[in-house]
Amino acid sequence: MAEHGAEHAEPVAFGFITPGMWVALSMTAFLAIVIWKKVPGAIAGGLDAKIAAIRAQLDAAKALRAEAEALRSEYAAKIAGAEADAAAMVEHARHEAQAIIAKAEVDTTAMIARREKMATDKIAAAERAAVEELRARAAAAAAAAAGQLIAQHHGASADKALVDGAIAGLAN
């Protein structure tokens, strides 16, 4: 074991290169190789390519957004047009319905008038038929009554007097 108060000796190469100098020398060599191989240019080129790709994606996104806005505007206009068309269709249907109702009212009035005329004609025909039947019955009843009266009041002698009177009227 080492004593507590002992100093450590720092290793030295070639009599003057200390560990810190080795680190500095290694870093200098590394940086020289990196610069010699043009790594910073390659890194910058890669970053520039990434930036260009990102810009292209942003431009494409802007174009897509503009296209989407145009489509949205177009569809909004189509919706407004469709709403106007629907309102026009409803109004047209309302006018057609009113025209159909008006025609139905006119047709109904005409049909009622025709039916009333037909009923009036049937009633008039029935009245005429009833009057004619009543006249026929009255004539038949009168003829029957006259026949009975003649049969009751005229006998063969009364008929002879009538026949003689008619013959005498012819001779004169």
Say how far apart CA 82 and CA 94 lie, in whole Å. 18
Rounded to an integer, the average pLDDT of 79-100 is: 94
Q: Is residue 122 part of a domain?
A: no
DSSP string, 36-55: HTTHHHHHHHHHHHHHHHHH
Please check whether residue 160 lies inside any domain of the structure.
no
Given a cut of 50, is residue 9 above it in pLDDT? yes
- Please give the pLDDT value at position 11: 79
Which pLDDT value is given to residue 1? Answer: 44
| pLDDT at 69 > cutoff 90 | yes
- In the prediction, which pLDDT does 94 show? 94
**Residue 131, in any domain of the structure:** no
Domain count, the chain: 1
Distance CA 105, CA 111 (A): 10
Tell me how far apart the alpha carbons of residues 96 and 68 are, in angstroms, rounded to a whole number: 41
- Does residue 65 sit within a domain? yes
- What's the token pair of residue 129? 């038929």
Query: What domain range is 24 assigned to?
Result: 19-113
Assigned domain for 30 exists: yes
Query: What's the angle, vertex CA 64, arms to CA 63 and CA 67, rounded to 5?
Result: 85
Domain presence at residue 5 = no
Q: 119 vs 13, which has greater pLDDT? A: 119
